Amino acid sequence: MERIILLCVVSTCLSAIHAQKFLFSPKWGPVGYKEHEEHGDGTAMDDIIKANEFHASRIIDGTTSLREGDIAVTAGRRSKVCFARSCLWSKSVDGHVYVAYRLSPDYSEMETKLIKKGMENIEKGTCVRFVPRTHQQDYIDIQPKSGCWSYLGARGGRQTVSLQSPDCLRVGVISHEFMHALGFVHEQSRFDRDNYVTVMWPNIWRDRLRNFEKFKTDNLNLPYDYGSIMHFGMYAYSQDGEPTIVPKNIKNIKLGQTSSLSHIDKLKINKLYQCGDADDY
């Protein structure tokens, strides 16, 4: 009897180990994440997918959910398109756009430095300035909640940007979420994206197909930006390790960015907020 019990225990342990390998192997989990070393083309969005598929539910609370992987949307409020003036942060008389923020005291000194470096990524070459909140009514509240996500554009009052520690505390991820807070959707969501990339629908995990929808946004008369920090990587949400987004008529081009804004990303900010040319900054 003791031998039978021992065999059952060993069998159970081996099954658990096998299941763990299945769930967390680079090929199978988390959904949409490819080991960066395998392809050498990791992006900020890859890091976000990895963090959110492990930690963040697509339902933040009873009325708020995540769309496209990391955009928080509240039922009954505007969701995707944020190129209307009504959801932009106010521009000061000195020509700068001051975005007030409050930083959770739960972040360490090193983590705080990383978050500020993500802010500097956006400030350099644009008219946006992030300032600690004093009296401002509208501000972003940066919290180490579950996963990496942000609301789209200025909502009015306090709005959360979630940067979980440590998974979301990478400069590119931080800048990506702040770009959402400024009002920018993912680059491949552009209504004209099919002229530039092919979405490989059969390769996408079935319950993540909605993350590849496109929307009628104002492209600000700027070219499609394969290298935008807001672009999905080539293997985003792949269910079988095959590409989910393939550039058209261009070979050997990298989709997305790991840590920096592209030149066109900065042009977008200045054009959306009517700050003049990027060369002015």
Q: What CATH code is carried by the domain that includes residue 90?
A: 3.40.390.10
Give domain status of residue 116, yes or no. Answer: yes
The pLDDT of 31-41, averaged and rounded, is 51
Distance CA 155, CA 95 (A): 21
123 pLDDT band, cuts 50/70/90, is very high
Give domain status of residue 169, yes or no. Answer: yes
Q: Contact 99/131 with Cβ under 8 angstroms?
A: yes
Please tell me whether residue 271 adopts helix, strand or coil conformation: helix
Please tell me whether residue 113 adopts helix, strand or coil conformation: helix
Give domain status of residue 45, yes or no. Answer: no
Tokens of 130: 């992030």
More confident residue, 27 or 55: 55
Q: Can you give the pLDDT at residue 93? A: 93
What's the number of domains the chain is made of? Answer: 1
Q: pLDDT at residue 6 above 60?
A: no
Q: Can you give the pLDDT at residue 31? A: 53
Those residues with Cβ within 8 angstroms of residue 52's Cβ, 6 or more apart along the chain or in another chain: 66, 69, 70, 147, 148, 149
- 187 classed as catalytic: no
φ, ψ for residue 130, nearest 5 deg: -95, 130
Give domain status of residue 280, yes or no. Answer: no
Those residues with Cβ within 8 angstroms of residue 165's Cβ, 6 or more apart along the chain or in another chain: 106, 107, 108, 111, 144
The pLDDT of 127-144, averaged and rounded, is 97
Given the residues 53, 68, 123, 177, select the one marked as catalytic: 177
Give domain status of residue 134, yes or no. Answer: yes
φ, ψ for residue 74, nearest 5 deg: -100, 135
Q: Contact 176/262 with Cβ under 8 angstroms?
A: no
Question: pLDDT over 70 for what percent of the chain?
Answer: 78
Q: Can you give the pLDDT at residue 252? A: 86
250 pLDDT band, cuts 50/70/90, is confident
Distance CA 248, CA 265 (A): 21
**Is 180 among the annotated ligand-binding positions?**
yes
Tokens 């929307």, residue? 215
What are the residues facing 103 on neighbouring strands?
142
Element (H, E) at 38: helix 36-39
Give domain status of residue 73, yes or no. Answer: no
Q: Can you give the pLDDT at residue 86? A: 62
Please tell me whether residue 28 adopts helix, strand or coil conformation: coil
Q: pLDDT at residue 268 above 90?
A: yes
Distance CA 74, CA 66 (A): 9
What are the residues facing 148 on neighbouring strands?
163
**Is 263 among the annotated ligand-binding positions?**
no
Tokens of 112: 């705080």
Give domain status of residue 85, yes or no. Answer: yes
Residue range of the domain that includes 134: 81-182
Give domain status of residue 92, yes or no. Answer: yes
Amino acid at 140: I
